[in-house]
């Protein structure tokens, strides 16, 4: 790979089908299974050379170095294996790296994100807004939020609040009806248990593998459980019929 950032190939612009995670995991990547000192030295040297500039272009260039050096030029490989690639994770321990590991990771995530956005939005959305958008996983929602930020010229705080409200609304709508209370779930289990208990024939042979003492013990436990359930039912009915 060229050490001059301006000569680095822009792999994000390549049109290709996304690979499955299983396919990405099967590809051999240099330094993935053990620490590769030469690979790390190369990454540190190239990343430090890029740190003189700021913003989205810096993030794009940093991501191109990382994805090129560690992940064979594939964003899909980064998405599938960034947490398990031993040499890439080792970057966080390098004291001679002039950028934080978090910045490196964010740059790669933003690099992937800009492939999902219209070009005019990418050109207008600053790095600060791109980072705020990273937790939004739904693609349509991500695009809509980014377009709104550009159209309405939203500042960082306003955009952060807009994302929070949209995500909250989406979570609420997905939630639908409130979850069933514990007692209601329990009675669903009871219904299945009763169905199983009454399905077959009960006779003396049904308890052949129990002693009389064991049978009495089980009967006492079951009768107590029935009484407990009856008490819960009576209390629920009292609440409903108030």
pLDDT in tens, 20-35: 666 777 788 999 999 9
Cα distances from 3 to residues 40, 105, 220, in angstroms, run 14, 20, 79
* Spatial contact of 63 and 7, defined as CB atoms under 8 Å apart: no
For residue 32, the 8-state DSSP code is S
What does DSSP assign to residue 28? -
Q: Which residue has 């999902």 as its token pair?
A: 116
Reported as a single tens digit per residue, the pLDDT across 42-98 is: 998 888 776 545 688 889 999 999 999 999 999 999 999 999 999 999 999 999 999
pTM for this structure? 0.56
């Amino acid at each position: 790979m060229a050490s001059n950032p301006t000569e680095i190939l822009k792999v994000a612009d390549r049109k290709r089908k996304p690979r499955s995670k299983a396919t990405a995991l099967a590809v051999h990547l240099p330094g993935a299974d053990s620490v590769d000192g030469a690979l790390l030295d190369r990454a540190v040297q190239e990343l430090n050379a890029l740190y003189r500039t700021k913003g989205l272009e810096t993030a794009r260039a940093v991501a191109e170095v990382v994805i090129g050096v560690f992940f064979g030029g594939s964003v899909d490989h980064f998405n599938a294996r960034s947490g398990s690639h031993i040499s890439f994770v080792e970057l966080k321990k390098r004291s001679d790296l002039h950028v934080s590991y978090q910045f490196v990771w964010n740059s790669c995530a933003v690099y992937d994100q800009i492939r999902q956005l219209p070009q005019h939005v990418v050109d207008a959305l600053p790095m600060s807004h791109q980072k705020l958008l990273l937790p939004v996983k739904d693609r349509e929602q991500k695009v809509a939020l980014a377009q709104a930020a550009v159209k309405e010229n939203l500042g960082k705080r306003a955009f952060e609040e807009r994302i929070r409200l949209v995500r909250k609304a989406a979570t609420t709508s997905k939630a639908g009806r409130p979850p069933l209370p514990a007692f209601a779930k329990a009675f669903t289990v009871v219904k299945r248990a009763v169905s199983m208990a009454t399905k077959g024939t009960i006779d003396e042979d049904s308890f052949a593998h129990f002693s009389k003492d064991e049978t009495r013990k089980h009967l006492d436990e079951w009768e107590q459980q029935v009484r407990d359930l009856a008490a819960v039912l009576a209390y629920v009915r009292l609440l409903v019929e108030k």
